[in-house]
Amino acid sequence: MQAFSGQCRVFFLMISVLGVFTLSACTDELPVSAAPPPIKVNVHTVAERTVPIGGHYPGRTVGSKEVQIRARVEGILIRRTYTEGQAVSEGQLLFEIDAAPFEVALNRAKAQLAQANASLSAAQRRWNRAEELIKTNSISRRELDDTESDLEFAKAAVQLAEAEVQAADINLGYTRVRAPIAGVTSREEVSEGSLVGPSNSLLTTITQLDPLWINVSLPDKLVLGIREMIERGEAAFTDGKKEVEVMLGSDDLYPYLGQINFTESAIDSRTGTVQIRAIIPNPDGKLLPGQFLRVKLHGLMSLNAIVLPERAILQGAQGTYVYKVVEGNRAEIANVVLGMDAVDGVIIESGVTAGDVVVVDGVSRIQPGAVLEPSETKKPPSQAEGKVVNQEEGDTPTASESESEGSPQ
């Protein structure tokens, strides 16, 4: 019995040893897990440069002059001489008011002037005789004074009559309503045959189209930021000219620049914007009052700026950041402070410096410490190629980013 137990122990021991060797052999045959391949990304080496700043902002055109045409005398409107909506020149006849009553008034005033002149002549003759008679004491001193007073009254009467003639002549001229400026007319507000007058009748409106004004609403932070940058010497307008350029459509650039001629001194509390106004040539009449446009500050340059495209900028729990390529081609997070918009991206106030290598394409596939296979972009990346990626929303790249990510692979 004991011999049988010993044989069993030897048997089980052999089985165990055999199992260990078998397991060891199987283990040696398992493949070792390989390190993940480097992630192919496009990068940009940061450099300071002078860049245009400011994006496109909404603007609306208004006539540089808009004049209400009203009757200046009361009368019956007998004729309109212009075509509604047409361009008119300065001084062009627009309306005629019945002139007959005013012609009569002018003739009456002229007759009164003639009467006053006759009275003046008589008074002058009396004064001349009185001067001779006083020398021989034929009249008293009082009679001489009365004659002199009559002469002065006659002279004043003539001046009054002349003024009445002038007023009547002006009123007669007001019966022919003329354009005070060149521009485009609106529709007729009062029909022919209506009684019009200076207190109640708007006849039409003339809007000057060349030049035009453009009213633009700029964010208050943008305006304040520009002022601070200019004061610090970090920004300037080219040649000192404060100009704007106008986009009529997505890619339709208006051929003339506008000149900023007014900036509101206060911020609109309702919209948080500051109004500026620019005057712009419109010789071809391509722009119309009330037209909405996209306006950009022209020639406003940020000096020695660091600019990155929006698609390179991420937002997460740790704030706003980018990925830098550091030693060993590894990805490292760099928190950044964003400045103003530039034409080809966003100005970086702090967080990266000249010489840093920043990932611009492929950011949604990177984690801190990941090994990268960087490929340098040939030119400064453009803002138009992508938008900000928010990693907390699933790291979904934009369509343009997806295209650029596929290129290095």
Instruction: Say what the pLDDT of residue 34 is.
Output: 66
Distances (CA, A) of 159 to 171, 201, 394: 18, 33, 91
Structure tokens at 158: 């003539």
Distances (CA, A) of 312 to 346, 360, 366, 390: 10, 4, 12, 11
Instruction: Say what the pLDDT of residue 77 is.
Output: 95
Distances (CA, A) of 56 to 9, 52, 161: 90, 12, 64
Instruction: Say what the pLDDT of residue 176 is.
Output: 96
Instruction: Say what the pLDDT of residue 74 is.
Output: 94
In the three-class reduction of DSSP (H, G, I as helix; E, B as strand; rest coil), residue 379 is classed as coil
Instruction: Say what the pLDDT of residue 401 is.
Output: 40
Q: Tens of pLDDT along 252-295?
A: 899 999 999 998 888 988 888 999 999 999 998 899 999 999 99
Instruction: Say what the pLDDT of residue 237 is.
Output: 86
Instruction: Say what the pLDDT of residue 9 is.
Output: 52
What are the residues facing 244 on neighbouring strands?
258, 297
| Ordered domains of the chain (ranges, CATH) | 41-48+306-406 (2.40.420.20), 56-63+210-304 (2.40.30.170), 99-174 (1.10.287.470)
Structure tokens at 340: 């103003």
Instruction: Say what the pLDDT of residue 221 is.
Output: 86
Instruction: Say what the pLDDT of residue 377 is.
Output: 76
274 touches 220 (CB < 8 A)? yes
- Token pair 């704007």 is at which residue? 244
177 touches 96 (CB < 8 A)? yes
What are the residues facing 327 on neighbouring strands?
none
Low-confidence ranges of the chain (pLDDT < 70): 1-35, 378-409
